[in-house]
A and B are shown apart, each in its own frame.
Chain A
Amino acid sequence: MKGLSSTKISALICTLGSILCLIFGFSLAGYWEIILLLPAIPLYWYFTRKVSTGLTISILLLVYVLLAAIGLLKDLSPYPMVIGCVLALAGWESAQFLLNFHDTSMDLTNPRLEYLHNKDLVIAIGFGLLLALLGLNIRLHLPFGLVAGLVLLAAFGLYRGLRVRKIG
């Protein structure tokens, strides 16, 4: 996987950053047991080394999102949880991108692929983080029915968007 050093570094940094954010968020509220997560990660990698790498990293993302959700439900500070979740997503996507080049060498004649991927990832994740942080600072008191309706609308919009794209 020559030529993919920036993606490898970003995958590592994002994954570590995600763990640290979650540990920080839980530690602030006195849940020191979460520090056990640090040695648990290498152990997890060790025991799942023979399983498909794509599945392993997806399970890890699921664990991070679950921890962030638990943190939010326990009324912990939302900032480390959201940031941790965003970094986990970025780390997961970078690792998935690296998997495409597993056992192959990145063609140096087409280095834009990595650059454009990273650029698109930063835009998508950055925009998502911005919206989430904005959402944390804007408090709207909406009735449950309206929220449920908006959620359904968002899901339908996502579905329609996919359909239109597929037909196009």
Chain B
Amino acid sequence: MTNNKSLFVMLLVMALFVAALIFREANLLLLAMPFLTYTMMGILRSPGEVKLRAWRSHNKSTGATLEPIEMSVRVENIGHSQVYLCLQDSPLPSMQIVDGQLSRHIYLASGEQAAMKYTFQVGRGIYAWKAIRVVATDPFSLFEQNLDWPAPAEIMVRPRSIRLRNLPLKPQMTRHILGSMPARLAGSGTSFFGIREYQAGDPLRRINWRMTARYPRKLFTKEFEQDEIVDIGLILDSRKLEGDDAGEDSIFEHAVCATTSLAEFFLREGNRVGLLIFGEKMTAVFPSSGKKHLFQIYRYLAQASAKKSIPLEYLNYFSYRLFPRGSIIFMISPFGYRDLPTYSRLAAEGHQVILISPNPIDYAAQKMPVNQINSLAYRASRLERYVQLSQLLSMGIRVVDWPIDRALNDVIREILAPLHIGDQRRVQR
């Protein structure tokens, strides 16, 4: 296939030919001679049948967001003739090349190999390559053959996550398997639960000597709270929020980060975790535990994207089947007033609902110019949100209003810390 370069040379040769004929000047033909031999050399050395073998390798099949990933594309010439090649790899959306290039010119004799290497960073997602674009050409790049040679590879870039520690949760219902969540039952945990009269067989180190001293003829034993596993449901609200930009600092990306962090935390503690990505396209992962399950959750969260808005009421058809009764449901959503009935229904179904709400008001306020009107609008929106969140609290739903510039772990710990009587209406102002 000719390209602009060969076309230019041929037009020049033709122009010299025509000029020689018009002006009857034979020397002009001689001027075209080097261009002709140059073109002939290109024709003679242009690639005939190209036979290659191409394959990709990367240093990690699973990477974290913006973690450098090294990609290597190797090409071997399995044909009998030498080839000049230009390897071109297609860039991924939002890809940043850290080192190397996406194209490379190489010369390969028969049986030789060469590699093109580059290091890149990319946001979360599952990225697949099917082929490598190979442009086989002559030494002067006059005549080209564009070939797409199969070289498949897939990389999953998991979402960002924060390491959460010691979330103060008090589940209402647990599964009777040893775990790490306090089960409101006396057992073999570490948290103090109560004191009862000594029974034969109780270990002596559990005797409460202070109580025993008060009642000389009786012995008393300390009881500890049993730790068990719980069913956790994570619901990520992937409805497009008006004013939320795409990018690593968007509200949605923070919501994905929070969901990933929670999944990691609860699965690390041995609990069963289910996931529902609620939006135009619903994606569900049924509750399970273990590393393989975490990897599956990563895959779904890596592909999550904010799409057009639909009513949260559709959730009613899913939550019932997906999450066992008594599950702790973490709803990760910016929250809107139209969503109230759905939260009410979730709570009525016997779930313990906790809303983690990345605060969209603060997020939007950071982007607006500071003036009196915006300041008033900001205050009004905050008040409105406070009222709406208070309505949720009155339904018995715990609310973590998360300003995204604060550490999630601190905010959750602050809000979900053990409650005292009369402390129910704790909403961050």
- Interface of A toward B, CB cutoff 8 Å: 58, 61-62, 65, 68-69, 72-73, 78, 81-82, 85-86, 89, 93, 96-97, 100-101, 103-104, 107, 109-110, 112-113, 116-117, 120-121, 123-125, 127-129, 131-132, 135-136, 144, 147-148, 151, 154-155, 158, 161-162, 165-166, 168
Minimal beta-carbon separation of B12 from chain A (angstroms): 6
Assess the A93–B140 pair: CB atoms within 8 A: yes
Q: Would you list 23 pairs from A and B whose C-beta atoms are within 8 A, ordered by A residue? A: A69-B31, A82-B27, A85-B34, A96-B5, A103-B101, A107-B104, A110-B107, A113-B84, A113-B107, A120-B140, A124-B37, A124-B38, A124-B41, A124-B42, A128-B34, A129-B33, A135-B29, A135-B30, A144-B24, A147-B21, A148-B21, A155-B14, A165-B48
- How far apart are the CA atoms of A65 and B34 in the complex, in Å? 11
Minimal beta-carbon separation of A52 from chain B (angstroms): 11
For A68, the chain B residues whose CB sits under 8 A away are 31
Minimal beta-carbon separation of A103 from chain B (angstroms): 7
Assess the B14–A62 pair: CB atoms within 8 A: no
Minimal beta-carbon separation of A143 from chain B (angstroms): 11
Look across to chain B and name the residue whose beta carbon is closest to the beta carbon of A166: B1
For A93, the chain B residues whose CB sits under 8 A away are 38, 140
Interface residue? B127 (CB, 8 A): no
Interface residue? B106 (CB, 8 A): yes
For A151, the chain B residues whose CB sits under 8 A away are 17, 20-21, 29
- The 0/1 profile, CB within 8 Å of A marked 1, for residues 82-126 of chain B is 001010000000000000010111110000001000000000000
For A147, the chain B residues whose CB sits under 8 A away are 20-21, 26, 29
User: Given that A104-B103, A112-B107 are known contacts, is A65 also in contact with B30, CB under 8 Å in the complex?
Assistant: no
Assess the A82–B21 pair: CB atoms within 8 A: no
User: Given that A123-B41, A148-B21 are known contacts, is A132 also in contact with B12, CB under 8 Å in the complex?
Assistant: no
Find B36's partner among A81, A112, A121, A154 (CB 8 Å cutoff).
Answer: A154
Assess the B2–A113 pair: CB atoms within 8 A: no
Assess the B23–A100 pair: CB atoms within 8 A: no
Assess the B31–A120 pair: CB atoms within 8 A: no
- Interface of B toward A, CB cutoff 8 Å: 1-2, 5, 8, 10, 12-14, 16-17, 19-21, 23-31, 33-43, 45-46, 48-49, 84, 86, 101, 103-107, 114, 139-141, 143
Assess the A113–B33 pair: CB atoms within 8 A: no
| Binding site secondary structure of chain A | helix
Minimal beta-carbon separation of A74 from chain B (angstroms): 10
Assess the A117–B139 pair: CB atoms within 8 A: yes
Look across to chain B and name the residue whose beta carbon is closest to the beta carbon of A161: B43
Find A158's partner among B5, B10, B25 (CB 8 Å cutoff).
Answer: B10
Q: Chain B CB within 10 Å — which of A86, A116, A124, A132 has the most?
A: A124
- How far apart are the CA atoms of A127 and B35 in the complex, in Å? 10
Minimal beta-carbon separation of A50 from chain B (angstroms): 20
For B84, the chain A residues whose CB sits under 8 A away are 113
Assess the A72–B5 pair: CB atoms within 8 A: no
- How far apart are the CA atoms of A100 and B140 in the complex, in Å? 11
Assess the A116–B107 pair: CB atoms within 8 A: yes
Assess the B38–A168 pair: CB atoms within 8 A: no
- How far apart are the CA atoms of A102 and B290 in the complex, in Å? 50
Find A125's partner among B5, B17, B34 (CB 8 Å cutoff).
Answer: B34
User: Given that A113-B84, A128-B33 are known contacts, is A62 also in contact with B12, CB under 8 Å in the complex?
Assistant: yes
Assess the A113–B105 pair: CB atoms within 8 A: yes
Minimal beta-carbon separation of A129 from chain B (angstroms): 6
- How far apart are the CA atoms of A82 and B104 in the complex, in Å? 35
User: Given that A121-B140, A147-B21 are known contacts, is A104 also in contact with B40, CB under 8 Å in the complex?
Assistant: no
For A129, the chain B residues whose CB sits under 8 A away are 33-34
For A69, the chain B residues whose CB sits under 8 A away are 16, 19, 28, 31
- How far apart are the CA atoms of A78 and B28 in the complex, in Å? 10
Minimal beta-carbon separation of B293 from chain A (angstroms): 44
Minimal beta-carbon separation of B73 from chain A (angstroms): 13
Assess the A132–B31 pair: CB atoms within 8 A: yes
Assess the B23–A73 pair: CB atoms within 8 A: yes
For A61, the chain B residues whose CB sits under 8 A away are 12
Minimal beta-carbon separation of B146 from chain A (angstroms): 13
For A144, the chain B residues whose CB sits under 8 A away are 21, 24
- How far apart are the CA atoms of A63 and B141 in the complex, in Å? 22
Minimal beta-carbon separation of A34 from chain B (angstroms): 17
3 closest Cβ pairs, A-B complex: A128-B34, A128-B37, A124-B41
- How far apart are the CA atoms of A107 and B101 in the complex, in Å? 11
- How far apart are the CA atoms of A101 and B140 in the complex, in Å? 14
Minimal beta-carbon separation of B396 from chain A (angstroms): 61
For A100, the chain B residues whose CB sits under 8 A away are 86, 105, 141
Assess the B104–A125 pair: CB atoms within 8 A: no
- How far apart are the CA atoms of A135 and B19 in the complex, in Å? 17
Assess the A65–B49 pair: CB atoms within 8 A: no
- How far apart are the CA atoms of A72 and B32 in the complex, in Å? 12
Assess the A168–B48 pair: CB atoms within 8 A: yes
Find B31's partner among A65, A101, A110, A165 (CB 8 Å cutoff).
Answer: A65
Assess the A72–B17 pair: CB atoms within 8 A: no
